[in-house]
Structure 1
Amino acid sequence: MTVVSVLGLRRQTRIGFPCTFDHAEFLIDGEPLYPKIRQLYPNLDEIGCLGWGPETLQQTRIDRLLLTGDADFPDDRRSLYLCPACGDLGCGAVSIRIERADGRFVWSAFAEESADGSQAAPTPLPGIGPFYFEEDAYMKTIRSAYGLGGFHWPNQAERETPGESGERED
């Protein structure tokens, strides 16, 4: 029998480069997913793909995880964790395969990969997944990330227009 997990999201604050901002961390049965990934690859510095960036980009990411939008890697792989500075797949990403069948969404084939052409194939993340989620709850959870951290690029959160801060530019 397949164990059905509960997907959740938690608002998480990213402190450090490029600035301090909020994004969504994925929770599987109440446990954050990213620490499990970092155990395999301790040098990764990525954040959940949901809850940050401009409105259209946030909607694109939601659609991608709901399978109503295109995959962003070959072989129908979809990014889950991205570069916190720019979200560019060339910086590297944790990707997964998502399938929808029999009233469930399934996350499987977790891997680290890059779209910069330096890697021939995704590097598997063994021992993570697959995870099975009840369809309606999954869809509601993914959609709930919209706007969680605001609608801006993180590095714009602390930018000021010249002259507003009272400091001069050199």
Structure 2
Amino acid sequence: MSDTSRIDVMKNVRKGGLSGIGYKREIKFADLVINNKSLYETLVDKGFDYVSCLGWSFSDIQLNGINKLLLKSNPDFDNDRYAIFICPECGDLGCGAISVNIKRVGDIIIWSDFAVEDNLGLYEIEYDRLKDLGPFYFQYDQYEAAIKSTFELGDTFIR
């Protein structure tokens, strides 16, 4: 097993405005920072337009995302993978998502096999563009505190 990584959280903003495909809305969300590097910025540099699944949307959806990443709820995909970055417009996995395998071994959480996929089967799971990410090994107590701290960090919607 490799050295453990540190996961932290910071409020980040996906800028809104006109783009080549129409209007993009601004969204404030909880960015995941691994070893002092923003995962959002890493994904933007690779050409992706997804935001973390944490810290924004309705409160119940935020809590569901927290529970999933803490392995207290079922995975998002049939292949036991968890969406960690999702569509910033609607949060729908059908728009595609950055997914990862998450496992707990004792006091270690392991994130491995980063990929792009959707829940509609519109395209095959793609690993190549993210093959240089991970695996990451997190101490559970530090990981749990970071994930829980994302609640209502960004834009919280009211029904």
TM-score norm. by structure 2 comes to 0.89
Counterparts of 1:150 and 1:123, CA distance in 2: 30
Equivalent pair of 2:96/2:118 in contact (CA under 8 Å): yes
Q: 1:63 is matched by which residue type in structure 2? A: N
> What count of residue pairs does the alignment treat as equivalent?
151
* Alignment of structure 1 residues 68-87 onto 2, 5 Å: 68-87=72-91
Give the CA deviation at 1:37: 3.0
Counterparts of 2:155 and 2:92, CA distance in 1: 19
Identify the residue that residue 38 of structure 2 maps to in structure 1.
32
Identify the residue that residue 11 of structure 1 maps to in structure 2.
11
Give the CA deviation at 1:22: 1.0
Rg larger in 1 or in 2?
1
Equivalent pair of 2:43/2:49 in contact (CA under 8 Å): no
Unaligned runs of 5+ in 2: 17-22
Identify the residue that residue 152 of structure 1 maps to in structure 2.
157
Counterparts of 1:37 and 1:74, CA distance in 2: 24
Q: Where does structure 1 differ by over 4 angstroms across 4 or more consecutive aligned residues? A: none
Give the superposed CA RMSD. 1.7
Give the CA deviation at 1:18: 4.2
Unaligned runs of 5+ in 1: 157-170
* Alignment of structure 1 residues 1-170 onto 2, 5 Å: 2-16=2-16, 17-39=23-45, 41-42=46-47, 44-120=48-124, 122-124=125-127, 125-152=130-157
Equivalent pair of 2:109/2:138 in contact (CA under 8 Å): yes
Q: 2:126 is matched by which residue type in structure 1? A: T
Q: 1:108 is matched by which residue type in structure 2? A: S
Further displaced range: 30-39 or 126-135: 30-39
Q: 1:69 is matched by which residue type in structure 2? A: S
- Residue identity over aligned pairs, in percent, reads 35
Counterparts of 1:59 and 1:85, CA distance in 2: 19
Equivalent pair of 2:27/2:88 in contact (CA under 8 Å): no
Equivalent pair of 2:57/2:156 in contact (CA under 8 Å): yes
Secondary structure of the corresponding residue to residue 157 of structure 2: coil
Return closer, same or farther for 1:94/1:20 CA change in 2, 3 Å cut-off.
same
Counterparts of 2:111 and 2:62, CA distance in 1: 20
